[in-house]
Structure formats: C-alpha cells, structure tokens
Amino acid sequence: ITFPAPDTEAEDDRLSYELRKNDTYAFFAIQIVGEQKDMPYKLLKKGKTLRNKGLKAKDSSRNEEAIANFRNSTEYFISAIRALDQ
C-alpha cells in the first residue's frame, strides 16, 4: 500500500495524511490479525492504543502529538501484519 506524501508541510495536511494512512493499515490489520493471543495480536493491540491516543490528541488540537501517535500506530499495524508470516 502506498500513500503519496502531502504536497505541503502544513500541519493540517500532514495530520490528514497520517490519519488516512493509519485508517487504512488499522482496517487491514484488524481484519487479518483478529483476536489471536500471539505476537501479531500484541502488536495490533499496541497499534490500537497509540491510535486512540492520536485521536484524543487530534480532538484536543495537539496536532504534532497526534501525528507522532498515528505514525507509531501505523508502524505497529504494519509489524502486526508482517508478523503473521513468521
């Protein structure tokens, strides 16, 4: 899955980009990993926790914090998906 980077460095554009990317990976990770008890599920759970922190930060207009949380969350979702192959 690829996402073109935003055309500008504006905070709102970066936030929107990271949220869209996170939404997509969250959807796929949740569908693929499910409710397992092993490592992929633990990575998925951590990704969900960071996503929720990002949404709360976004709602409180703490955009830089939200961006960081969405980026980290996305990495956990990607790791959860990749861990299924191991």
Per-residue exposure over 19-37, b if at least 16 CB sit within 10 Å of its own CB, e if not: bebbeebbeebeeebeeee
Is pLDDT at 47 greater than 80 in this prediction? yes
pLDDT digits (tens, 9 = 90+) for 21-45: 999 999 999 999 977 768 899 999 9
Residues of the chain above pLDDT 70, percent: 99
Q: Are 71 and 18 in contact (CB under 8 A)?
A: yes
Is pLDDT at 73 greater than 90 in this prediction? yes
pLDDT at 84: 87
Phi, psi of 18 (to 5 degrees): -65, -35
pLDDT digits (tens, 9 = 90+) for 49-61: 999 999 999 999 9
Q: Are 75 and 53 in contact (CB under 8 A)?
A: no
| Cα-Cα-Cα-Cα dihedral sign, residues 24, 29, 34, 37 | negative
